[in-house]
Homo-oligomer: A and B are copies of this chain.
Amino acid sequence: MLQADPLRERIVSLFEGMSPQLRQAARYIIEHPQEVALVSMRELARNAGVQPSTMTRLAKFLGLAGYDDIRAHHAEAIRFRVDGFAARAMQNDDSEQDMAAAQLSRRMLQGLAAQIARLTEPASLERLASAADRLAQARRIYVLGLRSCHSVAWHFHYVMTLLGEKTVHLDGPADTVGDGLIRAGAEDVLLAISINPYALHSLELAQLAREKGLGVIAITDSEVSPLVGIADLAILCSTESQSFFHTLAPALAISEVLCGLLANKDRTAALAALQRADRHLLSLNTYATAIPRRRI
């Protein structure tokens, strides 16, 4: 990534002139350089979601004789990098002293990675699985996350809307946050996300939900979180970070895993739902397929 890579640069510079399929292939190659050298072209094409011929066409488009040139180039890059990696690592340690920012960044990122990795402990995995089961059975899933946890709640809700109509995001202006629960009942589940310091309103709503007979699943940060007492099941995530602020990355990771597990319950249905969402958004022209040109 550091050293000059002429082919990579060529791909990037010609990217704008490529057709959609070529772009998809090119993008995958740029983002998975080592895979190019390690798997066959057909498999690469499959992983990139394009036809095998597209890879050949991409090679020709780049002015190469064929796909083998692309592979050869990436293989060479790997051979070249064999001891380059260690060298780079050393070079870090040197320049680290006068780069306070880099040092802090590294510590924060390594901390986050470690915290997420720690979620793979068997106890966590079990809770994730039961939570997913519970959510899958529910008629409706109400999602609640206020203040800092809004991001997690919203992301969960957003992803789930791609799958269907099952979730209701408890949010709104003018103190209407809780209104969504009006028609909630015992067949439903509340997914409540809250970390220290715990927003009072979240706890009140969770308590209300409990009283209305809803199942309550919590994503929170401690065994002694007030949510644990309210919820049927609590998934714990660390929020500590090497900076002033709490981190929500592990909580977000958990919510993404829950989405993944739910989608995995019925893969074909999930796939169909995603395709439908795709078509809908496509017809609305929501996403850019080419370089953007401002509407005037």
Give a binary string over A262-296; 1 marks a CB under 8 Å from any B CB, 0 the rest.
01100100110010000001000111101111110
How many angstroms between the C-alpha atoms of A14 and B67 in the bound complex? 39
Query: Is the Cβ of A112 less than 8 Å from the Cβ of B122?
Result: no
Query: Does chain B have a CB within 8 A of A199?
Result: yes
Query: What are the interface flags for A217-253 relative to B under an 8 Å C-beta threshold, 1 for contact and 0 otherwise?
Result: 0000011101001100000001011111101110011
CB-based contact B105/A110 at 8 Å: no
**A260 lies within 8 A of B244 (CB):** yes
Interface of A is mostly: helix
Chain B residue contacts of A91, Cβ below 8 A: 122
With a cutoff of 8 Å between Cβ atoms, the chain B residues found around residue A150 in the complex are: 151, 154-155, 158
Q: Which residues of B contact A64 (CB under 8 A)?
A: none
Q: In the assembled complex, which residues on chain B have CB atoms less than 8 Å from the CB atom of A109?
A: 116-117, 119-120, 253, 257
Q: Given A37-B78, A105-B128, A197-B287, output 17 extra A-B contacts at Cβ < 8 Å.
A: A26-B224, A99-B264, A101-B128, A101-B129, A101-B264, A102-B122, A102-B126, A104-B261, A105-B257, A109-B117, A147-B158, A150-B155, A198-B292, A199-B287, A204-B294, A206-B292, A245-B260
- Contact residues of A with B, CB < 8 Å? 1-2, 8, 11-12, 15-16, 23, 26-27, 30-32, 34-35, 37-39, 47, 75, 78-79, 81-83, 85, 88, 90-92, 97, 99-102, 104-106, 108-110, 112-114, 116-117, 119-123, 125-126, 128-129, 132-133, 147-148, 150-152, 154-155, 158-159, 162, 196-201, 203-204, 206-208, 211, 222-224, 226, 229-230, 238, 240-245, 247-249, 252-253, 256-257, 259-261, 263-264, 267, 270-271, 274, 281, 285-288, 290-295
